Amino acid sequence: MSLLSELQNRSNHQCELCTSQKNLAIYEIKPVSNGGFDGSILACETCIQQIENPEMMDSNHWRCLNDAIWSEFSPVKVIAWRMLHRLKNEGWPKDLLEMMYLSDEELAIAKATNEHLDDSEKVIHRDCNGVILEAGDTVVLIKDLKVKGSSMVAKQGTAVRRISLDHENANYIEGKVNGTQIVIITEYVKKMADKE
Residue where a domain stops, chosen among 79, 111, 143: 111
**Same domain (yes/no): 49, 140:** no
**Same domain (yes/no): 78, 153:** no
What are 18-23's contacts with CB under 8 Å, separation 24+? 18/44, 18/46, 18/47, 18/61, 18/62, 18/64, 18/68, 19/64, 19/67, 20/44, 20/46, 20/47
How far are the Cα atoms of 1, 26, 39, 98, 195 from residue 79, in angstroms, in the given order?
24, 13, 11, 16, 23
**Same domain (yes/no): 94, 137:** no
In a domain, 118, yes or no: no
**Same domain (yes/no): 16, 78:** yes
Residue range 137-178, pLDDT digits in tens: 899 999 998 888 788 888 999 999 888 888 778 888 988 888
Residue range 4-28, pLDDT digits in tens: 999 999 999 999 999 999 999 999 8
Mean pLDDT (whole number) for 51-63 = 88
In a domain, 155, yes or no: yes
Residue where a domain stops, chosen among 111, 135, 153: 111
pTM: 0.62
3-class DSSP state of 150:
coil
**Same domain (yes/no): 165, 134:** yes
Directed axis angle between helix 92-99 and helix 74-86, to 10°? 150
Residue where a domain stops, chosen among 111, 142, 167: 111
**Same domain (yes/no): 130, 84:** no
Please tell me the total count of domains within the chain: 2
In a domain, 64, yes or no: yes
In a domain, 119, yes or no: no
The per-residue pLDDT for 114 is 64
pLDDT bucket at 102, cuts 50 / 70 / 90:
very high
CATH number at residue 139: 2.30.30.40
Enclosing domain of residue 14: 3-111
